[in-house]
Amino acid sequence: GQQLNQSPQSMFIQEGEDVSMNCTSSSIFNTWLWYKQDPGEGPVLLIALYKAGELTSNGRLTAQFGITRKDSFLNISASIPSDVGIYFCAGQGNNDMRFGAGTRLTVKP
Amino acid sequence: KAGVTQTPRYLIKTRGQQVTLSCSPISGHRSVSWYQQTPGQGLQFLFEYFSETQRNKGNFPGRFSGRQFSNSRSEMNVSTLELGDSALYLCASSLTASYNEQFFGPGTRLTVL
């Protein structure tokens, strides 16, 4: 389906730094999902958000479902080398699932 | 619990041939969706199956087809392959047809020569 607006496209950070990425859409979604994809593998679900305003954490990851239901962000705190990969947001509407183009994260030790 | 499995993992075909890819969802999951991932277009939705019925279809030509069996396993078929069909084909399963918490398989890397 039509892609969501995900930014930034790529990030180069030092180990230990915090990271923030976000997705926006012109459409309202019922669910926001964040995935991480390693090279040659399928995306792995990190966090699922079901309610506007919801803030959910999974270890060093925190994500929020925007109040307008048209956006979401993902934060990674104290990054480590294994955080390297491509992070995708996905928005689920009534009958479709749309993905962001991905944020490529590089972590320098 | 075993994850989503896809076979084969890698495939090389030539233009004009056809290909069939297989996906076994997580046990108990009844919905299977297929996606095409390319560097230029990102993740694009192909179709979704639930209880052996196609519920939704993305904007792909009729050369792309799929089906789901009674055990929820799914196959997708691409006929008359074109160079542009080279991509990673991902299958994702979820408990119901509402897309919530889709879990992806490792994908099948198709190369068309």
| Residues of B at the A interface, defined by Cβ within 8 angstroms | 4, 6, 33, 42-45, 56, 58, 90, 92, 98-107, 109
**Cα–Cα distance, A39 to A25 (Å, whole number):** 26
What percentage of chain B carries pLDDT values higher than 70?
96
**A48 at interface of B, judged by CB pairs closer than 8 A:** yes
CA distances from residue B106 to A7, A47, A87, B21 in whole angstroms, order as listed: 25, 19, 16, 12
Nearest CA-CA partner of A28 in A70, A91, A71: A70
pLDDT digits (tens, 9 = 90+) for A82-99: 999 999 999 988 777 889
**A86 at interface of B, judged by CB pairs closer than 8 A:** no
pLDDT band at B98, cuts 50/70/90? low
Among A51, A97, A99, which would you mutate to test the B interface (most chain B Cβ atoms within 10 Å of its Cβ)? A97
pLDDT digits (tens, 9 = 90+) for B63-88: 999 999 999 999 999 999 999 999 99
Contact between A74 and A63 (Cβ < 8 Å): yes
Query: Residue B83: left (phi > 0), alpha (psi -120 to 50), or beta?
Result: alpha
pLDDT digits (tens, 9 = 90+) for A17-57: 999 999 999 999 999 999 999 988 899 999 999 999 999 99
Nearest CA in chain A to B4: A42
Q: Which residues of B touch A43 (CB under 8 A)?
A: 43, 90, 104
**Cα–Cα distance, B52 to B70 (Å, whole number):** 6
- The answer on pLDDT for B53 being more than 60 is yes
Torsion over CA of A28, A33, A36 and A41, rounded to 10 degrees?
Answer: -100
Tokens of A108: 């320098």
Q: What is the mean pLDDT of chain B?
A: 93
DSSP assignments along A36-84, one per residue: EE-TTS--EEEEEE-STT-EEEETTEEEEE-TTSSEEEEEE-S--GGG-
Contact between B25 and B32 (Cβ < 8 Å): yes
